[in-house]
Amino acid sequence: MYQLTYHSVAVPSLVPGDLDDILEESRTRNALRDVTGCLIYHNKRFVQILEGGKIDVLRIYGKIIGDRRHHKVTLLWEGPVNRRYFEEWNMAFYRIDNGSNVNEDEQTFRHNMRLLSDFSDKSTSSMLSFWATVRKLLGGS
């Protein structure tokens, strides 16, 4: 099993429809290659962890690097792991509803992601790196 974590910055012109496209492409591409993981998007930034066979993870990462919807792709960690940590996940996603209280939804999202970070397994360098970057992205320690 192989894991890879990266961080990137969305292009200024990214719109919600682009996020929908990224999500659909990720779910389809990852399912075909038995790659699982987690993608977090917040404040025009992405952080993602991918896990699966090494060749499959690296191929997907190669496509991600070439995707023009983001830039400053920074590899945070890669390497072998003993097992999957996102076995039941394909690609997580959350969108704040335009009709709701955006500030309240934002606070709820950040709170829930911090809780997930607190209770998630961080026994490997990859998991520690991923959740530390998520917390930084959310503005928390």
The 3-state DSSP class for residue 49 equals strand
The 3-state DSSP class for residue 50 equals strand
What's the CATH fold of domain 2-138?
Answer: Alpha-Beta Plaits (3.30.70)
Is pTM beyond 0.85 here? no
Overall size of the chain counted in residues: 141
User: pLDDT 10s digit of each residue in the chain, 141 long?
Assistant: 999 999 999 999 988 888 888 888 888 888 889 899 888 888 888 888 899 999 999 999 999 999 998 999 999 999 999 998 888 765 555 555 555 555 666 677 777 777 776 667 767 777 778 888 887 877 754
